[in-house]
Structures are given as structure tokens and as C-alpha cells.
Amino acid sequence: MNNDIERLVRGELRDPHSILGRHPAADGTATTVRAFRPEAQTVRVMADGEPVAKLECVHPSGLFEGTVEGSLGDYELEVGYTDGSTFGLRDPYAFLPTIGELDLHLAGEGTHTRLWEKLGAHRRVIDGVEGVAFAVWAPNARGVRVVGNFNSWDGRLHQMRTLGSSGIWELFVPDIPDGSLYKFEVVTAQGNLILKTDPYAFATEQPGGPFGGTCIVHTPTYEFTDDDWMTARESVEAYKAPMSVYEVHLGSWRRTGDDQPLNYRELGHALADYCSEMGFTHVELLPVAEHPFTGSWGYQVSNYFAPTSRYGSPDDFRYFVDTLHNAGIGVLVDWVPAHFPKDEWALARFDGTALYEHVDPKKGEHPDWGTLVFNYGRNEVRNFLISNALYWIEEFHVDGLRVDAVASMLYLDYSRDEGEWVPNMFGGRENLEAIDFIKQLNEGIHGEHPGVLMIAEESTAWPGVSRPVHLGGLGFGFKWNMGWMHDTLSYFSKEPIYRRYHHNNLTFSLMYAFSENFVLPLSHDEVVHGKGSLIGKMPGDEWQRFANLRSLFAYMWAHPGKQLVFMGGEIGQYREWDHDSSLDWHLLDHTPHKGVQLLVRDLNRAYKELNALWEMDHSPDGFRWIDANDADNNVLSFYRSNEAGTDHLVCVCNLSAIPRTGFRLGLPKGGNYLEIVNSDAAIYGGTNMGNMGTVVAEDEPWHGLDHSAILTLPPLGVIWLRTSST
């Protein structure tokens, strides 16, 4: 007993409930009550508002003990201090554990996929008493305590207990209101005392506060109104449905007059209106989980379960998603399971040991980003990450996760030189534990939530990224086509006179276009770190630059695959993206910028109406080159077909600065074709050269097709021709 008391005083007793609280005698004749209240002068036990025992101080550190005759039911402690103040409180050591054996078992074997419902801080009613159940995984800690504004940040008052061999510590603290601040005070394996943020916290104070990573007790109250959207989502086959994505950084898309970010609710309405007008089907958000450094854009996460407090509360984020859903816009969120920052108050060496990360820096540290790599071999880490993925989908109704940096997860030698990495058990470079995790993740998400998108940002030639797990793939629904982005931007950055030597940069993507379900990204990565803006990559004078950008978009929207464009690209913003300032919306007062925006709007509207552009995205049967080899003229032509083969969309790209008249082009069928898109139209800022809205196909074979027509191709322009029955 004396040894246990000494450990209690040091905050290292793994089961403080064994000493503190009420302890009835075996024969039921009396109940011993103990309370640890440092600095207190008196402690009394109160039942039904009346004192039933005065506890005596039995240890100078503040351990009080006394006896109540008979059994003791519901009670409170009345604690007095030398300044004359008196406080009444319910004893947190009078309650049974709040986590059951089944939860502990599932957590230990790595199959508890909803651990956010058990770990963290949860409002509970236990034995008729309201309070908060705290729980955290810290298996190698000597002791863990809850500290917050409800106990003057004094961890001695709320020491937690471990539950078996699970490594989970828990404590139920009565009478804590929502909005209370808290952290965990950990006595590490080395005996050091550190403050840690709650890995499962639902909300945090804004970054930069006095207690970095301070968590907030939060109980969601928002009621979603998107039942119709959620029901319809389940039946969508995304790979054969339209998907045009607008990638957004919430803090810099649009700001207030005094240069402050909009909040979640303001953003919800503004983005819903903008995306509806522009025709985008989805928004994709750079990571919104809490992160300490704004300059990481959200990719260095400290609190995986907490939407960043920069723009409001978790319920405000629910409102954001709900608003977009009610406008018919899907919400995708960037998710970062590959690495996390080294901030000492967050996940890093959480209990004084490498818990979420690997011990060996050759496995556990990312050399490029100065971050730590998750240890996917630990059941508890897989629980944490898979629970987190499900949390965003179930608690916030997000429609998909774009999984960041998948390549860095798949390869043990990613961005490492020889001698800086550890081979797998077979001597290879593949991260077998990460691969198993990815498969488990995708099978679980798709199995429980049909219609939810799992999208891989994966930059290598790893096979079967978007193939189902049971067919030997990784199980993602889509993969970002990073090769297409690189090759396409490389081509468009060349002066037209040199493009003939780089024609294969545009044609090569069709060699593998149907090997995966691809998203074609023009992402934020291409407009940062000195890479300039999209319009800044285009060659020539101002007119040529805008003509090139319009051609890029019109070509991209016709190419097999789904589209993604980062905010600002659609208005031709000159300036490289800056996360601390708004997009340059004033540019829309100028015709070239407004023209690009109008073109993107019209591309989206036409795209959604033309099932030939998305119904067969996954199959080569929906695509045919008309002429892939006219490199000398910088002309590229192809057509897309719908599943029934009844509708066709012909795309012709003249990527030279020379207009071409009398240009004969093979066509898939006879009759009239409508020129539904012309990137050189005057409304977009072009020369208005084209085909007067209609083309008639003649019965003259050309380009291996039975029909053809004479076309006018505008300079640095792209036209779309649609088969017409009229």
C-alpha cells in the first residue's frame, strides 16, 4: 500500500482507482473513502447534501482517507482550502471503466474501425451522472493524467488508469461542460513529464495559442439535411459518371475585406454558388484536419480527428458539407496517412517511445519533409488511421478521400539513397505493411460506404492502383495521372515552333489511359515553389498565353479521365498561389481572364451533358484516334463515344499559332455535326475563327474513317464537334 501511495504521489500509479474512491468492506459494515487533493485543508464526504464523514490527511502530499458506516451510494466531496474557499465535486474515482472488454479486444487485434467512438473525450451519463469519459492509448507511459481549465491544469487531480494490457488509459470526470479545454499530461517511459494533445480530439483551439494543441471537449449537435444526396450517392458508378473537380485551399480561395479567411459557413454558401455556376461536380479540399503550421497547407497534421479551427467549429464544417450537398456538389478531402510532423506536443514519441512511428529513422523519418512515417505494422496505428478515414466519411458526410503521397508509403526506399533504407523481409523495396494497410483501408471503406471515392495520389508505375483488392490491386477507385500532368504541361510550355519535336508528350498518355481509372490533375503542386501559375507556364505574348491556356483546358476536358483544376487556374491568375492571400478575383474585370473562366464554365456544362465524355472513361472502346501523328502541323484529333456507340464527341486541337483552313478531317459518321466548343470564340477572348457552328460530314473516306469534312482550325485553338441528328 505504501509503495502504491508513493507511485500515486508521483503520478505513476497505473490503477489509481485501487486506492482512491470508495472501497466497501467485505462484510458491508463500512466503506472507506480516499481522495487525493493536494493543497486542500479539509475534505468531507457528502450524501444527499449532508456530511457523512470527514476525511483525514494521511499523507503530506494530500491523500485524505475516512470511513463511512455501512454502504455508500451516490456521494460528493466537499473540499476546503486555506483561503476559505470550498468546492463541491463528484468523485471521478467512483465510476467503473467506460470502455468494455470487447472494445479492448478489437483494438488490440487491429479490427476496431471506430475507435473515435471510444478514445478521446466523450460526453457520457454514468449512473445518472453527466461527465466526460477520457481515454488515450499510451502503452509505455508510467502515468497519464487529464489536465484542463476544469482542474487548473493540475494533473495530480485527475490521474487515469490503464485497462488491462491494452495500453489504453481512461478516466470519467463528472460535470465537465462542452467547450472545456484539455490535454493529456504524460509521465513518459523515461520518467519525464510532457503535455500532449489528444490524438482523437474532435476540436482544438486555434493554432498559435498559449497551450499548443489544446483540445476542446466537443459534442456534435448539427443535424444534416442531405438524406437525398447520401442515398443517391450509394448507387453512383463513379468511374462511368461525370466528375469535374475544383481543388480548393479554404484559407485563400476568397477572403474578407480586411484580408481574413471566410469561415466554414460563409465558404459553404460561396463555394456552392460558384461551383454550381461553373458546373463543377465536386470540390476537393486541401487537408482540413488540424495542423500547426499554416505554410504546410494542411499536409502536416497534428489532430487527425479535428477540422481545423481556423474557419470554425466541427459543426460549422458539417454545415459546409451539408450546404454543398444540397447544391448538388460533392466534397472530397485530402487525407494524409503517410506522415506526421515532429511537434513534441503531438503524435511524435507520444508516451516517450516511438508509438505511431518507427523506432529506426531509416523507416520512421521522411527525409524530404522532415516528418515521421507511420508504423503500419502496429495494429493500433492501423486502427487509428482506418478509424480516421471512416470518421470523416461518417461524421462529416464527405464523399471521398484523396490519399496523399501514396508512393512514399509503397516504397521503403522512397527518396532515400543506398544505405538509408531497410529492405523488407524478402529483401525488396516494397513496404509490405503499408500495402496491407492500404488494401484493408480500401476494402473497408468501399464495403461499408458504396459510392465513396478513394483516390490515390500515386506518381509511379505501381500496377493496379485502382483495381479491386480481390483482383490483385490496391483497391482505390481512382488514381491521379501525374505522368499526364507532367507531360502535358511540358508540351504546352514549349513555343509552338518547337512542339513538333514533343508531340509524343500528348499522345503517350493514351498508351496507358485505360490501365487505371484516372483523374487528370492540374493541381496546387504545379503553381507553388517557384513553378509559377498555369498562365505563367504558357509561351508567347499575352494573347498567345491565354489562347494556349484555353486550348489546354479544352483538350483536357475531352481527354479520357476525370478533370481536376486548382483554384485560380480557371481565371488565369498570373501570380503564383500564396496560401496567405486571396485569389486575384479582380482579374475578372479584364476580358482575357473572364474569357478563360467562361470557357471552363462552358466546358463543364457541355461535359456533363455529353455521356460520350465520361460513360466509357474506363474502356478503350470509348476512344479512337483520328490522327495522332500530325506532329508537323501540331494538330491532334480524336473522338469519344458513349457506351451504346450512338453519340460521338470529336476533339480537334490546333496547337500551332497558324490558322488552318480547308483542313480535311475524318469523322466517325455522316451527317451534321454541331461545333459546341471553340476555345477561340470571341466571348472567350479569341479571334472568333471557326466553322459557323455546324459541320457537314461527306461520304469521303479520310483518316481510315468512312466520312470526312473540311474544317477551319483556329490558331492555338481547340474545337469540339458533336454528332447531330438534325
How do residues 597-610 score in pLDDT, each as one tens digit? 999 999 999 999 99
Q: Residue 110 has what pLDDT?
A: 85
HEC string for 647-713: CEEEEEEECCCCCEEEEEEEECCCEEEEEEEECCCHHHCCCCCCCCCEEEEECCCECCECEEEEEEE
Residue 33: how many CB atoms within 10 A of its CB? 25
Question: Closest by alpha carbon to 74, among 135, 36, 150, 22?
Answer: 22
Q: Average pLDDT in the 626-636 region?
A: 97
Place of cell 478531317: 665
Residue 529, class by beta-carbon neighbours within 10 Å (0-12 exposed, 13-18 middle, 19+ buried)? exposed
- Give percent of the chain with pLDDT exceeding 70: 99
Q: Are strands 215-216 and 193-196 parallel, antiparallel or unpaired?
A: unpaired
C-alpha–C-alpha distance, residues 672 and 298, integer Å: 50
Farthest CA pair distance, the chain = 107
Q: Are strands 371-373 and 282-285 parallel, antiparallel or unpaired?
A: unpaired
Question: Closest by alpha carbon to 461, among 528, 508, 416?
Answer: 508
Question: Closest by alpha carbon to 178, among 119, 116, 124, 224?
Answer: 124
C-alpha–C-alpha distance, residues 555 and 133, integer Å: 55
Please state at what angle helix 264-278 crosses helix 314-326, rounded to 10 degrees.
Answer: 20
Q: Average pLDDT in the 253-268 region?
A: 95
Phi/psi for 282 (5° steps) reads -140, 155
Q: Which of 31-35, 59-63, 416-420, 705-709 has the lowest mean pLDDT?
A: 416-420
Which domains does the chain possess? 21-90 (2.60.40.10), 101-216 (2.60.40.10), 241-344+402-446+456-612 (3.20.20.80), 617-724 (2.60.40.1180)
C-alpha cell at 6: 508513493
Question: pLDDT band for position 725 (50/70/90)?
Answer: low
Alpha carbon of 474 to those of 105, 198, 445, 678: distances in Å? 27, 31, 13, 40
Question: pLDDT band for position 210 (50/70/90)?
Answer: low
Question: How far is C-alpha 645 from the chain's CA centre?
Answer: 38
| β strands within 400-532, DSSP E | 400-403, 453-456, 478-480, 518-522
Using the CB atoms, write b or e for 72-83: b if 16+ within 10 Å: beebbbbbeeee
Q: Average pLDDT in the 529-551 region?
A: 96
C-alpha–C-alpha distance, residues 614 and 630, integer Å: 26
C-alpha–C-alpha distance, residues 323 and 224, integer Å: 9
Catalytic residue among 290, 404, 516, 680: 404
The pLDDT tens digits of the residues spanning 345-377 come to 999 999 999 999 999 999 989 888 899 999 999
User: Are the beta carbons of 482 and 520 closer than 8 angstroms?
Assistant: no
Question: Closest by alpha carbon to 147, among 213, 234, 66?
Answer: 213
The three-class DSSP label of residue 568 is: coil
Q: Judge whether residue 211 has pLDDT over 80.
A: no
Place of cell 470554425: 312
Using the CB atoms, write b or e for 255-284: b if 16+ within 10 Å: beeeeebbbbbbbbeebbebbeebbbbbbb
The pTM (predicted TM-score) of the whole model is: 0.96
Higher-pLDDT residue of 576 and 3 is 576
Q: Judge whether residue 1 has pLDDT over 70.
A: no
Q: Average pLDDT in the 153-178 region?
A: 95
Catalytic residue among 322, 457, 602, 647: 457
Q: Residue 726 has what pLDDT?
A: 45
Alpha carbon of 434 to those of 60, 466, 607: distances in Å? 52, 16, 37
> Using CA of residue 465, residue 468, residue 474, residue 480, what is the dihedral sign?
positive
User: Are the beta carbons of 596 and 546 closer than 8 angstroms?
Assistant: yes
Q: Judge whether residue 290 has pLDDT over 90.
A: yes
Element (H, E) at 163: none
Q: Judge whether residue 274 has pLDDT over 80.
A: yes
457 is a catalytic site residue: yes
404 is a catalytic site residue: yes
Q: Judge whether residue 329 has pLDDT over 90.
A: yes
User: Are the beta carbons of 53 and 43 closer than 8 angstroms?
Assistant: no
User: Are the beta carbons of 34 and 21 closer than 8 angstroms?
Assistant: yes
Q: Residue 484 has what pLDDT?
A: 97
Place of cell 468531507: 44
Place of cell 490558331: 715
Q: Judge whether residue 257 has pLDDT over 90.
A: no
Question: Closest by alpha carbon to 519, among 549, 546, 485?
Answer: 485
Q: Residue 649 has what pLDDT?
A: 97
Q: Are strands 168-174 and 129-137 parallel, antiparallel or unpaired?
A: antiparallel
Residue 22, class by beta-carbon neighbours within 10 Å (0-12 exposed, 13-18 middle, 19+ buried)? middle
Q: Judge whether residue 666 has pLDDT over 80.
A: yes
Q: Residue 207 has what pLDDT?
A: 85
C-alpha cell at 628: 495522332
C-alpha–C-alpha distance, residues 297 and 203, integer Å: 18
Residue 597, class by beta-carbon neighbours within 10 Å (0-12 exposed, 13-18 middle, 19+ buried)? middle
Work out the mean pLDDT of the chain and round it to a whole number: 95
